[in-house]
Structure 1
């Protein structure tokens, strides 16, 4: 393959993508997807193991002496109702952990990740003269829960399979199709999601003197939390604290007995993260004490993602390959992103460098400059939106080619 050409892609790959898109599955429930992945990998000649980290799939292909490269794709979807109007849009539903029926959609693009990696695995299996070493393909569950990568590591990923010399992966993004972007160093934020339970004393709405109002307590807590970033974190640090949900009461004339807040913290530095968490704890407990709450509030972790750190040399090596293929004007630096990912766990656990990039997946006609300053980036549907769906052409071919090109860079033929 010339560095300036896409690899030949199986024309049936688009139909596979549409099938996966129609049948999304939530984290740790990716049974159908995992079955398709395993079947295709076996047909391509990989040694395949299923059920790694509950629903993960690992394929190994050894091809002469050489290093080991891990290529990762996540498989899970989101509890989002799709509103794209596509003829292959998802109408699937599932039952969540609370027993509620929810719509399910691949609104983050993991179906594209899975399809691209299956396509790349097939290309590399058929053209083993172009690379040498060991190819480890990891199809990970439950990225949206922040648990899938750790589950696979805890299930003996690197005891049962080769330890990689590099971890490679990509995430489809609302950039113009035909562009690839990567940032060295801290690339994606660490994320902490918390549930705060505030306990008051309920009463009739006409008798507030008999209550300890948890809604007022929650309101004070929310307002005070908004000062953490603006007044307690250095102005040179980057961090976000969002209160995304407030739940209390069911009637206009009843003061409830408790309230619940859900908040999310994004940060790039561990010291800053600890300071924010300490401040949250102090404020929550302080507001409860000020209100005279009869019980201590509780703060429970919902999920946590560590900061994703791209190895500078490893990312440069990969992006240089992409620049030779796409042209340097089509390889961008997006800066550090506020989104979160758990792919870094796979690299950290292996002691291997991470090279992780963004794959443009939006119709280029919607953009003007096509770079990171393009105003369209603020208006085109983004990941997790019910309107988000990447365009198949050329996203699918580019995603396959990127994985193949990166693999050949890190596993060069003898």
Structure 2
């Protein structure tokens, strides 16, 4: 680990500059693989700091490389995309794009990454090695990391010794949860199409109603987790969309369901997927559907399993920097990320959280215990998600100090 005085190089940060950059990103959110403006802003700042910058990696991805002598290669990643959410925060810097919002904090992630990259560039006299900065597109689509890897991320840029990342999360601002080992769940998005026979609402006997059939499917799917998965195996199955029909008196020819499955091991995932397919097929056959249903896994996130040794080193650094009480193990969550897909096989990675809920919002939330209050504050993907701007500088410090933990310390007077 670097000497303690090298753990924080952020004294020269200008909070006003960070706020301006963050507010600009928040006002101009962009959906997955459309992050052209955001990528351009990131690339320009990296070039200004002396990084070798490559744009258009995996679509709209940005990679910046800063070589500073012999030593470890550390990758730092931030995702850039926003969500199709109508903002309801009332902030004076709220989204200017109707129906799109940075509701998951990726604007914070990019701001932290930019400032960390600039800080490390300015502090090259205290570390040696190579820093690779990654602005990743399409995290919310579940395919951004895979797109960058497919575009040669592992071959075109310095091979990593460690991959590091962090995420804004609900919780009273000023905490930095770390989880060694299994940190986040796998996630699968599943599209279901029920094929019926359409017709007039006055003659239902001449139809096979896919709305009724799909309704039975939705109800029956509730038993997958409740009755087929052991209580000791965490899993969540959500029906996020049900689409059918165009008019009051027309029985449609098909109905569509959008499902999301979250699991923490391959055995549970396979069992749940098999149950979903079985239930959908059986309900359609029971209804007399003329065609077999479609059940397709359209996108997937892997589990996130932090390297325990790497996580222990970085958690220790954050405790030293922010205080022992600020770092704790929140355990495995059912949220998902494609962050781990960026790491080549065998390369350790670590992914931690920075809590961002304003103090007044947290205090007003119902409940006494930490987990009770979590349910009462706007979380990621909420139209009310509004991080406290006090986390801007600390979020840079967490990323810079983590990088320095893995880079080689440079002795004074060495070139």
Task: Give TM class, smaller chain.
Answer: over 0.9
Deviation, 1:399, is 0.6
Pairing partner for 2:14 from 10, 15, 20:
10
* 1:375 and 2:351 are equivalent in the alignment: no
Q: Partner of 1:99 in structure 2? A: none
CA distance in 2 between counterparts of 1:73 and 1:371 reads: 33
Over 3 Å counting, the alpha-carbon distance change for 1:350 and 1:129 in structure 2 is: farther
Q: Partner of 2:389 in structure 1? A: 392
CA distance in 2 between counterparts of 1:43 and 1:204 reads: 65
Q: How many residues align?
A: 403
Q: Contact 1:61–1:136 at 8 Å: present in 2 too?
A: yes
Pairing partner for 1:90 from 84, 91, 95:
95
Over 3 Å counting, the alpha-carbon distance change for 1:374 and 1:231 in structure 2 is: closer
Q: Contact 2:78–2:136 at 8 Å: present in 1 too?
A: yes
Q: Partner of 2:255 in structure 1? A: 259
SS in 2 for 1:181: coil
Over 3 Å counting, the alpha-carbon distance change for 1:53 and 1:5 in structure 2 is: closer
SS in 2 for 1:108: coil
Over 3 Å counting, the alpha-carbon distance change for 1:328 and 1:407 in structure 2 is: same
Deviation, 1:3, is 7.4
Q: Contact 1:92–1:104 at 8 Å: present in 2 too?
A: yes
CA distance in 1 between counterparts of 2:65 and 2:222 reads: 48
Over 3 Å counting, the alpha-carbon distance change for 1:372 and 1:340 in structure 2 is: farther
Deviation, 1:167, is 0.6
CA distance in 1 between counterparts of 2:18 and 2:268 reads: 44
SS in 2 for 1:180: coil
Deviation, 1:252, is 2.8
Over 3 Å counting, the alpha-carbon distance change for 1:159 and 1:52 in structure 2 is: same
CA distance in 1 between counterparts of 2:5 and 2:174 reads: 17
Pairing partner for 2:61 from 45, 56, 59:
56
Deviation, 1:5, is 6.1
Q: Partner of 1:194 in structure 2? A: 190
Pairing partner for 1:352 from 343, 347, 353:
347
Q: Structure 1 length as normaliser, TM-score? A: 0.94
Deviation string 1:68-106 (CA, Å, 9 cap, x unpaired) is 11000011111111111111111214xxxxxxxxx2111
Q: Partner of 2:123 in structure 1? A: 127
* 1:29 and 2:24 are equivalent in the alignment: no
SS in 1 for 2:26: helix
> Alpha carbon RMSD of aligned pairs, Å?
1.8
Q: Partner of 2:359 in structure 1? A: 364
Deviation, 1:284, is 0.8
Q: Contact 2:8–2:401 at 8 Å: present in 1 too?
A: no
Over 3 Å counting, the alpha-carbon distance change for 1:406 and 1:71 in structure 2 is: same
Over 3 Å counting, the alpha-carbon distance change for 1:133 and 1:4 in structure 2 is: closer
Q: Partner of 1:44 in structure 2? A: 49
* Runs of 5+ unmatched residues, structure 2: 411-415
* 1:413 and 2:413 are equivalent in the alignment: no
CA distance in 2 between counterparts of 1:315 and 1:358 reads: 12
Q: Partner of 2:141 in structure 1? A: 145
CA distance in 1 between counterparts of 2:360 and 2:7 reads: 22
* 1:80 and 2:85 are equivalent in the alignment: yes
Deviation, 1:372, is 7.1
Q: Contact 2:176–2:354 at 8 Å: present in 1 too?
A: yes
* Runs of 5+ unmatched residues, structure 1: 94-102
Q: Structure 2 length as normaliser, TM-score? A: 0.93
CA distance in 2 between counterparts of 1:39 and 1:217 reads: 53
Q: Partner of 2:296 in structure 1? A: 300
Over 3 Å counting, the alpha-carbon distance change for 1:6 and 1:65 in structure 2 is: closer
SS in 2 for 1:32: helix
* 1:65 and 2:70 are equivalent in the alignment: yes
Deviation string 1:115-167 (CA, Å, 9 cap, x unpaired) is 10100111110111221111011000010001110000000001100111111
Deviation string 1:218-248 (CA, Å, 9 cap, x unpaired) is 1111121111111211221000111111112
